[in-house]
């Protein structure tokens, strides 16, 4: 389930700067907000289980940013390194293009970010910058890597 996958990353890593796993009701609220904005939330299943998910959210709430989205991709433990993240991100880019998005931003926590950076580079993202010591989790200051990609009508990674 989505809540379980995200809870794993909240409690065991710096992949998200959340410190408390959201409840199912929080996820329902998030999904409703994404639907209202016409943004995709994708779920990958394997063997009847949720193996991962991806969604696009607003990059910033100001109206001028309405065509820029931020991606989030999370895989269940045991599903990393099998190409599922690339499938989800490819589908997310395509659906964001259909929704009218023009730019996608990835905000990646620097600690243990090698796989996420590699995934985004493989899908055409380029480095856009680094924010130094902007998060504090698990007793340490964390940087974020910013990556960016233009979204075109016909998408693929």
pLDDT tens for 68-94 read 999 999 999 999 999 999 999 999 999
The DSSP letter of residue 19 is: S
Look at the chain and report how many structural domains it folds into. Answer: 1
Nearest to 22 by CA among 10, 40, 34: 10
CATH of the domain at 103: 3.40.630.30
Return the number of other C-beta atoms located less than 10 Å from residue 117's C-beta.
16
Q: Classify residue 88: in a domain, yes or no.
A: yes
Q: Classify residue 89: in a domain, yes or no.
A: yes
pLDDT tens for 95-152 read 999 999 999 999 999 876 789 999 999 999 999 999 999 999 999 999 999 999 999 8
Distances (CA, A) of 31 to 18, 43, 69: 17, 12, 15
Q: Are 84 and 44 in contact (CB under 8 A)?
A: yes
What range defines the domain where residue 28 resides?
Answer: 2-150
Q: Classify residue 157: in a domain, yes or no.
A: no
Q: Classify residue 139: in a domain, yes or no.
A: yes
Euclidean distance between CA atoms 63 and 66, whole angstroms: 5
Q: Classify residue 156: in a domain, yes or no.
A: no
Q: Classify residue 155: in a domain, yes or no.
A: no
């Amino acid at each position: 389930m989505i809540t379980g996958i995200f809870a794993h990353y909240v409690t065991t890593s710096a992949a998200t700067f959340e410190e408390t796993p959201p409840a199912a009701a929080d996820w329902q609220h998030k999904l409703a907000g994404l639907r209202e904005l016409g943004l995709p939330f994708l779920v990958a299943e394997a063997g009847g289980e949720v193996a991962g998910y991806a969604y696009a959210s607003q990059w910033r709430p100001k109206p001028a940013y309405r065509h820029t989205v931020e991606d989030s991709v999370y895989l269940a433990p045991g599903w990393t390194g099998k190409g599922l993240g690339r499938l989800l991100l490819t589908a997310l880019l395509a659906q964001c293009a259909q929704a009218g998005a023009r730019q996608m931003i990835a905000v990646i926590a620097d600690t243990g970010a090698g796989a996420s950076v590699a995934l985004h580079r493989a899908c055409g993202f380029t480095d856009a910058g680094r924010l130094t010591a902007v998060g504090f989790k698990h007793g340490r200051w964390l940087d974020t890597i910013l990556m960016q990609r233009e979204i075109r009508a016909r998408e693929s990674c």
